[in-house]
Amino acid sequence: MRLVNHRGRSGLDIAGRFVDLEEHSGGRFSSDPMSTFGDWDAIRSFASEQTATGGCPLVDDATLGAPVPNPAQVFAIGLNYRDHAEEANLPIPETPMVFTKFPSCIVGPNAEVPLTGNRVDWEVEQVVVIGRETKDVKANEAWGYVAGMTAGQDISDRRLQFASKPPQFSLGKSATNFGPTGPALVSLDEFEDPDDIAVRCWVAGEQMQESRTSNLIFTVPQLIEHISSYCVLLPGDLIFTGTPGGVGSVRDPRRYLAEGELIETEIEGIGRLSNRCIARGR
Ligand code: ZN
């Protein structure tokens, strides 16, 4: 099942056509993208019976919003790919390095990204969407608490991220529109192996990152076990699972996002984000 947020309404993407959940279920399900988690199993069953014939074409990606527009909590993981830790000259973490992106930065797959300075960087990330309340869940049961996955960009202002000592990541990763997500929330059954998915990123047409989630240092189930042993995860919460090597701040020479450049972020089985960098204040 591919769930999308089309002009603020929740629906299915079936072969490129939009099937509005509320309209096509005769009001059984809400159009609110945040309300789907309570009805997840029923919506999946409903989705399996739908065909694209009744929907309207999703011709314009600009109409798509974040699949989970108002998550209560957004977790993100630092240094969760070995090659990224190595390129940053930092030791491989022994426990997951968890920080937050404040939820107001979460936007849709084609949102413009106002640059907050001249040291703003890209990070392709697979994003896990929690499906139900999760507390003290062991890794071997953790996938059962996941609704699905989406693609994410963990846009990062490196100057702000490292402005204080010790560094505080959250604000530098939470500026306006610094959390593009989408284009769909894809349920787990759509993935042959949810622990092995290709992730890629291009900037201005040049490929910058390519890896697979099988290279994660801490797997999705391990992350859920770790985080849920300390705090309750809620339906719709997002976990940005970390970025592989190839970010701009550790390249030689360093390479940062410039006004007018397009960031393209692709996760296998989910789709692509296309985010144009613009001047701040427009
Ligand atoms: Zn990141």
What's the 205 CA to ligand 1 centre distance in angstroms?
A: 21
What's the 33 CA to ligand 1 centre distance in angstroms?
A: 25
What is the band of 251 on the pLDDT scale with cuts at 50, 70, 90?
very high
What is the band of 80 on the pLDDT scale with cuts at 50, 70, 90?
very high
Q: Are 147 and 73 in contact (CB under 8 A)?
A: no
What's the 243 CA to ligand 1 centre distance in angstroms?
A: 5
Peptide bond connecting 166 to the previous residue in cis, omega within 30 degrees of 0: yes
What's the 210 CA to ligand 1 centre distance in angstroms?
A: 14
What's the 242 CA to ligand 1 centre distance in angstroms?
A: 5
Q: Which domain holds residue 171?
A: 74-279
Mind giving me the DSSP string for 128-193?
Answer: EEE-S-BSS--HHHHGGGEEEEEEEE--EEHHHHTSSSS--HHHHT-STT-EEEEEEEEEGGG-S-
Instruction: Please tell me what DSSP assigns to residue 95.
Output: S
More confident residue, 15 or 109: 109
Task: Let me know whether 57 and 120 are in one domain.
Answer: no
Task: Let me know whether 60 and 80 are in one domain.
Answer: no
CB burial readout 80-102, b (16+ within 10 A) else e: bbeebbebeeeeeeeebbbbebe
Is 56's pLDDT higher than 90? no
Q: What mean pLDDT is predicted for residues 22-49? A: 94
Is 282's pLDDT higher than 60? no
Q: What mean pLDDT is predicted for residues 242-255? A: 95
> Which residues have CB atoms below 5 A from the ion given as ligand 1?
123, 154, 243
pTM flag (> 0.75): yes
What's the 38 CA to ligand 1 centre distance in angstroms?
A: 29
Is 211's pLDDT higher than 90? yes
Is position 69 within any domain? no
Task: Let me know whether 119 and 48 are in one domain.
Answer: no
What's the 197 CA to ligand 1 centre distance in angstroms?
A: 17
Is position 245 within any domain? yes
Task: Let me know whether 80 and 98 are in one domain.
Answer: yes
* Among the listed residues 12, 72, 7, 65, the one whose alpha carbon sits nearest the alpha carbon of residue 36: 12
Q: With the C-alpha atoms ordered 47, 53, 55, 60, is the resulting torsion angle positive or negative?
A: positive
Residues whose CB falls within 8 Å of the CB of residue 214, separated by 6 or more in sequence, listed in order: 193, 195, 196
Task: Let me know whether 17 and 130 are in one domain.
Answer: no
Task: Let me know whether 211 and 139 are in one domain.
Answer: yes
What's the 266 CA to ligand 1 centre distance in angstroms?
A: 15
What's the 78 CA to ligand 1 centre distance in angstroms?
A: 6
Q: Of all residues in the chain, what percent carry a pLDDT higher than 70?
A: 99
Task: Let me know whether 145 and 212 are in one domain.
Answer: yes
Mean pLDDT of the chain: 95
| pLDDT tens figures, 153-189 | 999 999 999 999 999 999 999 999 999 999 999 999 9
Written as six digits, the tokens of 101 are: 């992106």
Is 61's pLDDT higher than 90? no
Task: Let me know whether 123 and 79 are in one domain.
Answer: yes
Position 123 scores a pLDDT of 98
DSSP bridge partners of 278: 114
What's the 100 CA to ligand 1 centre distance in angstroms?
A: 10
